[in-house]
Structure 1
């Protein structure tokens, strides 16, 4: 009642007081400091990886709420001994400063508390007048109400000037001592505590004596106050002052630039393993020094943790120069894939039940219209297991498998993997889709390999169940938690068995030709790995996975220039294995038996065994493998006792015949297969006295299908001859050759014919001595 009466009697005073209180309540800005800050990234253990200078050209790290105890003690003893006792200003200090300044006739002493200094810093160090000091005092008391003492010290530490363009304790620690503020010694903490008092003191070789005097005086005070002991004091005063400003570490510069696009001016804790990142940087640097001599200037490396899907290492480019695009982050840039997509085709065919790992696939000269795929070594095996075709990265079997499987089906699988650079429809890429006709990037490819590995891990660890969000994006933010979604009994893209069998194929160590002599490969490490080389030697890839880690490597030139020797197995794979050498060994994947079944396999063909397959073995294959075709390469024939002739009842009695299962390949496959398989036995011929016609067992080796042939000239200017080749299943057969129905010659055993014709269209006909005939049309151009 008394208060009400007072208000009624003194309305003007009351209104004035209310206005004053409202003004006081809102006089302090909501955000004290609004200047731009540096983008700073750290490792998963809070170790600095790099920083970008703020937009105003200052090294100003984002506010750090944690101030190291050493620096805090030094700061309080130097700037404001009664910091924890005053309400924002110290009347005694103000009185002393006022007295000294009046005697001197100018401002000689400030008398400001740490809180007042925070206010002055937030107001851009305005001119030091008595009126300005009054404002600071009022605002300081308001800040004391709003913020804790620890928050006020954090404000000061994050925004105090430390000389030049260095602002804040964290930036100063790295620039002057090349370490984080929590690792500073007492002498270093004391140096930085006195520096904002006169930040222009610390320049290399300038005013060092003044700075040293200030620092040692503070250390002496710490000793007197028993904050440090005498031994610490004696050792501290012996420490030298910094003589230069260190550069801010740039351990993951391309990741820093990537994060700066989305988290500009922020402090970001990443998932990077600093030790591994440094090791990878050194490995890349060493290989760059060698490769650059051959005009190969760019390298990128990505390492993922399979279980957490976190990025452990991010090397966006080699330490090259600006003329070779050193600032370009290649990890997310689309590049021609080479053979790196082949494992996805293999897994897709296993998953859909169209293939078993050891199924023989054709490796023979092949034309698809004008497209003629070739193996890297331009040789053919005739027939090779699908598993070995993948491990040796053979192009011809891959294209034939893709054509058989279906281009649209494979393209659909790739779309499910979310390879974002494969934007066009299947027909746009054609049958080159699995050989580098499409583009992808290291990020998406490593993501896919990690998802495949994780699928097998989760299936075997979670009672044969899958996760709905298995094929998720990796992350380099520590705070991100990967959500793999709910469990489900249904596969997401590939079943676990198909992935496991694909990895088993990629685990093969023996490599053909250029892929031999892996003296740097530790065979005790079980790694499923694949290389790739794009057309024109522009891109070299190597990606490998274990149960725990995926390592991806790209090597080439950012501008797309091809170079001789820029081959995945020669340039990218050595880097891959050097990185794996730095990673812990992993156990091999557990076999997903619940997605597998044991069936009889024909040993020679790799197909499901039939009754007439002589050699069989039990193998665990994917469940969908039950849908695969039975062995087509075994036939029952009647032979004489020595098994060197086929016979029948027209020439031999039943008692002298025996029935035999024979492994027979089609003629063209057989032609190349028997060169590499000396124990292969061609089908024996019929004995001459037997009445039987053989099947049409001829096929063109060259040319194949409708071909356009260019005849180059040799060194003397004459046109080279065209060599025609035919394979016949009966080595005793005689073949008769015709060109445009005109007889040319006959051949026996080796069926090669050289012809020399002008440009034009020709029909080649070949007839054997049993009347079987094959024909081929060719176009000859000069």
Structure 2
């Protein structure tokens, strides 16, 4: 007997499954509803919402947002037996049929919540045939979804008048709160409107809505669904509501994330709502004050150093400002980075043993194979330490370091840091890349400074809470990532960038109590088209760009004058409670004594010594030779080489051992120095070759010069020669032109065509270059 029952049971179950399978084949499940894409902040609040493809506000209500009060009110009002039937309530159908046939009571369709979901998913004309299809669809939905999922679908589809659908859309647009933050009175208000969305319009029929809300509250109280006190409090709550605009914070990032994740109804960003709002307000108000200077826009990026999460994203000063192209995203726009890459260059050079903070670098006019950079202020300093070169953002020392290290070494590291424009231009970058000759975005630059703040370790930025770069851990720290520079060089750069004795400190900030404790670097692109200021402390890195999206420059547009004040305001406003702890020297750093004149290890003639950081096993161990011992005649008129020195009658004396270009600079600027006397004229030994040969600084090698024949324009000949050189000899196309002193500027009128220009010194050393002259 039991066996027969079991067989019948399983046969019935199989038949039911076959019927469901046939139903699915005959009537495939409808497509899920098209939601309004929304972008949420890190706390789950909605930052930005978009209309769905059918131009409706239908924001997805998540299961966690369906509160017990909302669930109770909806089920009690719409379908008391929701959790007990299989999509169709037979008793309700019988009662509804009796009422409709005999005209007793209110006419009803006996629709369950599941049947309403079926109708909302596939709206049809209300006929008996469509009602039967609706019932079949309800049974099908019950077979595929749980009760909670069906209730969720219902709450996402119910109408609230106009183009507003779903509880979450109504809660945000009318009460400016998500569903799980609503009071009982507000919850019941949203529960009663779907049956009369045209008669009970919030903001228009508030009196009628209030009356209906209170009627249902009393009814729920009589049914014992809520406590007496909760009902009394809800009845006393006023209903003063109107429709509000959808949230529109972070419009640039919202559009970016929605484009990247087109199938996500809810994109959970890492933005901090408070910081985002403050950053937008600060940027908008700051740019308004710059309009009279011909500056119309700015962009700001705030990154949490520990998690690599983007906490504020301001793509422009005003997204709605069409006249100034406010919809352009300044975070992603590729622009000239100016001097903002210098800290990274110096960190790389220190890791290769080329530099230490006290190392002295030449800052004089220099020809780097045809490229002659200038400092921002058009002045040179002769010789400067690395820390001064970085703090004062000098261009010539930076180009010299890049030339010595090699452009490929530098650009390969930028590619590791995901600099897209550098990656795409593998063969077109030269020495000018350190002065803004390569394109970069604020996003790329800011993350590079996050790398410095994180001991030289690079990792991608986190834009959403589900970013692949997120790694769960107890401290919620970002992955260690790739070490682009060492922790030692990152600290040394940070130490220099946090100094306050520098020219790019904004006016009046020297004595300001509002000066934040940050390390920062400014940058200004050629033509004053882009102003940058990027700073960091232990907690945050903030990047600021100021300029015009049209690319038009402005006289006042410099990083120090217009970008850094906004940077400091941002730190003082959104990072005011950052811990006061500062970066500490890593164990991989050590101290040593160096010569104060050069920053190298003290040599034989280095009486003045200072302390400097260095990287053990990496930093150069070259000894200082800033002075050299020279044999001179007793009267000091001539110098001797070892070959021509007499047996007696000479003395030993120390003379500065400087680079030829530094000597040439001192000569042209009239800077006094201990000059080497001319070589013994009786010496018969001629020292040829190109070692320490004169360096031709003008004209530039491999350059075409276009001259006006009617104006009889001339070319300038100049060189940088060694300390002991007194006279040089100029040749054009191997024909002698004239002799001149080593520092003299010679002008001549060249013939058209290719020219070979040669310069020989009085020690027999020679340099040749090629140029082309064209007449017009």
TM-score range relative to shorter protein: 0.7 to 0.9
Q: How much has 1:424 moved relative to structure 2?
A: 5.1
Query: Contact 1:351–1:624 (CA<8 Å) still a contact in 2?
Result: no
Choose from 595, 598, 601 the match for 1:605. 598
Equivalence map 1:478-557=2 (5 Å):
478-480=465-467, 482=469, 492-512=483-503, 517-518=508-509, 525-557=516-548
Matches within 5 A, 1:5-16: none
Residue of structure 2 equivalent to 1:465: none
Distance 1:404 1:607 in 2: 17
**Contact 2:589/2:614 (8 A) holds in 1:** yes
Please tell me whether the aligned partners of residues 203 and 241 of structure 2 are also in contact (alpha carbons under 8 angstroms): no
- Structure 1 residues 356-386: Cα deviation after superposition (integer angstroms, max 9, x where no partner): 2221111111223543211111000111112
Larger mean Cα displacement after TM superposition, 206-215 or 683-692: 683-692
Residue 475 of structure 2 corresponds to none
TM-score (norm 2): 0.81
Conservation of the 8 A alpha-carbon contact between 1:686 and 1:692: no
Q: Kindly report which structure 2 residues correspond to 1:4-403, keeping only aligned pairs within 5 A, or say none.
A: 22-24=18-20, 27=23, 34-66=32-64, 67-84=66-83, 88-90=87-89, 93-104=92-103, 108-124=107-123, 126-137=124-135, 139-140=137-138, 143-144=141-142, 147-203=145-201, 206-226=204-224, 227-229=226-228, 233=232, 236-243=235-242, 245-264=243-262, 265-320=264-319, 321-403=321-403
Task: For 1:259 and 1:379, locate their aligned partners in 2 and report how far apart those are by CA, in whole Å.
Answer: 46
1:366, 1:704 within 8 Å by CA — same for their partners in 2?
Answer: no
Q: Deviations over 1:712-737 (max 9, x none)?
A: 99xxx999999988899999x99899
Aligned CA distance change for structure 1 residues 636 and 701 (closer, same or farther; 3 Å): same
Change (3 A) 1:393 1:710: farther
Q: SS at the partner of 1:576?
A: helix
Q: What is residue 464 of structure 1 aligned with on the other side?
A: none
Asked whether the equivalents of residues 300 and 318 of structure 1 are also in contact (C-alpha less than 8 Å), the reply is yes
* Separation (CA, whole Å) in 2 of partners of 1:375 and 1:723: 22
2:592, 2:614 within 8 Å by CA — same for their partners in 1? yes
Query: Is the partner of 1:279 in helix, strand or coil?
Result: helix
Give the distance between the partners of 1:146 and 1:737, measured in 2 at CA: 95
Cα distance between partner residues in 2 of 1:292 and 1:330 = 17
Distance in 2, Cα, partners of 1:759 & 1:516: 52
Cα distance, 1:2 vs structure 2: 8.8
Aligned residue for 1:589? 583
Whole-Å separation in 2 of the counterparts to 1:38 and 1:673 = 70
Compare 16-25 and 502-511 and name the one that shifted more. Answer: 16-25
Residue in 1 that maps onto 2:625: 632
Superposition pairs of residues 557-572 of structure 1, within 5 angstroms = 557-572=548-563
Across the aligned residues of Structure 1 and Structure 2, the Cα RMSD in angstroms comes to 4.9
SS of the residue corresponding to residue 53 of structure 2 reads coil
Moved more, 254-263 or 270-279: 254-263
In the alignment, what sits opposite 1:466? Answer: none
Match of 2:355, SS?
coil
Distance 2:78 2:678 in 1: 112
- Structure 2: distance between partners of 1:152 and 1:420: 46
Cα deviation digits, residues 584-605 of structure 1 (max 9, x gap): 4352223222x33433311221
Contact 2:498 / 2:520 at 8 angstroms: preserved in 1? yes
8 Å CA contact 1:336–1:440 kept in 2: the answer is: yes
Q: Distance in 2 between matches of 1:330 and 1:202?
A: 44
Give the distance between the partners of 1:151 and 1:725, measured in 2 at CA: 83
Give ranges in structure 1 of 5+ residues lacking alignment.
Answer: 9-13, 457-469
Cα distance in 2 for partners of 1:398, 1:82 equals 77
Can you list the C-alpha shifts for 1:22-68, whole angstroms capped at 9, x where unaligned? 32566477856523212111111111111221111111123521302
The answer to whether the 8 A contact 1:94-1:110 is kept is yes
Q: Secondary structure at the match of 1:220?
A: helix
What is the alpha-carbon distance in structure 1 between the residues aligned to residue 648 and residue 114 of structure 2? 115
From the superposition, tell whether residues 524 and 685 of structure 1 become closer, same or farther in structure 2 (CA, over 3 Å): same
Distance 1:202 1:534, change over 3 A: farther
SS across alignment from 2:673: coil
Cα deviations across residues 637-675 of structure 1 (Å, max 9, x unaligned)? 7999xxx99999999999xx9x88666544642576799
CA distance in 2 between partners of 1:424 and 1:123 (Å): 49
Q: Secondary structure at the match of 1:300?
A: strand
1:675-754 map, 5 Å = 682-683=673-674, 703=698
- Provide the rounded CA distance (Å) in 1 between the counterparts of 2:68 and 2:664: 81
**Closer, same or farther in 2 for the Cα pair 1:17/1:177, shift >3 Å?**
closer
> Aligned partners of 2:649, 2:13: CA distance in 1, in Å?
130
- Per the TM alignment, residue 389 of structure 1 is displaced from its structure 2 partner at its CA by 1.1
Alignment partner, residue 445 of structure 1 = 445
- Unpaired stretches in structure 2, ≥5 consecutive residues: 473-477
| In 2: Cα distance, 1:650 partner to 1:123 partner | 111
Q: 1:673 to 1:93 in 2, by over 3 A?
A: farther
CA deviation string 1:210-254 (max 9, x = no partner): 3332222122223434525457636645513423x2111111112
Match of 2:546, SS state, is: strand
> 544-553 or 168-177, which moves further after superposition?
544-553
Structure-2 change in CA distance of 1:304 and 1:375 (3 Å): same
CA contact (8 A) 1:532 1:567 kept: yes
1:614 pairs with 589, 607, 614, which one? 607
After the TM superposition, which of the residue ranges 60-69 and 699-708 deviates more from structure 2?
Answer: 699-708
How far apart, CA to CA, are the structure 1 residues paired with 2:679 and 2:428?
A: 55
Pair 628,202 (structure 1): closer, same or farther in 2 beyond 3 Å: farther
The answer to whether the Cα contact below 8 Å between 1:89 and 1:140 also exists between their aligned partners in 2 is yes
Q: Secondary structure at the match of 1:551?
A: strand
Structure 1 residues 710 and 100 mapped into 2: Cα distance closer, same or farther (>3 Å)?
A: same
1:153 deviation in Å?
Answer: 2.4
Alignment of 1:757-772 (within 5 A): none
C-alpha contact (below 8 Å) 1:646/1:684 kept by paired residues: no
Please identify, of 562-571 and 342-351, the stretch whose mean Cα deviation from structure 2 is larger. 562-571
